[in-house]
Amino acid sequence: MVPTSRQRSTLSREDARQRYVEIGELAVLEQVRSDARLLDDWALAVGPFTRLDANAVAAADGKTRGAITNVFGSQAAFQTEIMAHVLSSTDWIERIEYPDPSDFETAEDWVDALLVGESARGPRHGHEPTVTYATLWALWLSAVPYGLWSEQVSLPSLEEQLQTLAGLEDALTGALEHFGLALRDGTANDLASAIASLTEGVWLNQCLTRTHPSDPTQPIAELLRRSGRLLWAGATRPL
């Protein structure tokens, strides 16, 4: 059978560019979904973890690549092990210390300290690479798209979120009792969820800038402090 010739495109150059961009975006998403299914078997690493070089890691410790493969079996296994560790950072959550309400004269002062502390716990644009919760959180972002289809990404992330919310809820409950306040509606868990969600949203900004996006004269911590103050004011009332 003689193959049928493909019809020549009648699209303009710009329209063709846009069409192939859209097709390419879908192809990337389909590839992420395909890789996510392999992730559930820990069959591969993704994102920046695929560029992790066992030779370079071993050399930093004065060893050769064999030191890595002797422990992990292969570079690929080493990459997936590092990725799994980054995706489960519950030990860092256990170290969080929230401000003690008894150290502050007003609830507003306590909230300011809480929010400034949460900002400081997050990533810093341009900061030198060091292993902290902030930098591991930024690395975790590279795996988030795979969480759309991978339980290996979504489950430890949700476990970490629940652990964070439990600690923050306890801190908020203690502050409400200390300052004689009640919630206008909802529960302390609702308020903790709102603050945690706001915090991680601001952390995204902190990855990109050191200053307030709308007010470059102010540090990025002001974004979380001001926004968090509004949340607190709207959520609480005197007993």
Residues 39 and 126 in one domain: no
Domain range for 201: 88-238
pTM of the model: 0.89
Structure tokens at 170: 């306890």
Joined tokens for residue 3: 């193959």
Q: What is the mean pLDDT of residues 26-31?
A: 96
Two structure tokens written together for 53: 């070089």
Mean of pLDDT values over 97-108: 97
**pLDDT value, residue 38:** 86
* Rounded CA separation 38/143 (Å): 13
Residues 140 and 48 placed together within one structural domain of the fold: no
The pLDDT value given to residue 33? 94
Q: What is the pLDDT at residue 131?
A: 94
Q: Which residue has the tokens 């560019």?
A: 17
Residue range 128-185, pLDDT digits in tens: 999 999 999 999 999 999 999 999 899 999 999 999 999 999 999 999 999 999 999 9
* Predicted pLDDT of residue 7: 61
Report the distance separating Cα 175 and Cα 109, nearest Å: 11
89's CB contacts (< 8 A; 6+ apart) are 133, 136, 137, 140, 160
**Residue 2 clears pLDDT 50, i.e. is over it:** no
Mean predicted confidence (pLDDT) in 90-115:
96
DSSP 127: P
Query: In sequence order, what are the residues at sequence separation of 6 or more whose Cβ sits closer than 8 angstroms to the Cβ of residue 151?
Result: 40
Residue 235, pLDDT score: 97
Helix (H) or strand (E) segment spanning residue 217: strand 215-219
Where are the alpha helices (H) located in 61-125, listed in sequence order? 65-72, 75-87, 90-93, 107-120
Average of pLDDT values for 205-220? Answer: 96
Q: Which residues partner with 237 through β-bridges?
A: 182
Beta bridge partners of 219: 211
Same domain membership, residue 132 and residue 196: yes
Q: Are residues 206 and 109 in the same domain?
A: yes
Domain-ending residue, one of 86, 110, 145: 86
> Which amino acid type is present at position 105?
E
pLDDT at 6 over 80: no
Answer yes or no: is 3 within a domain: no
CA distance 97 to 114: 10
Tell me whether residue 6 is in a domain: no
Q: What is the pLDDT of residues 33-91, one digit of tens each?
A: 999 988 877 668 888 999 999 999 999 999 999 999 999 999 999 999 999 889 888 89
Whether residue 67 is found in the same domain as residue 93: no
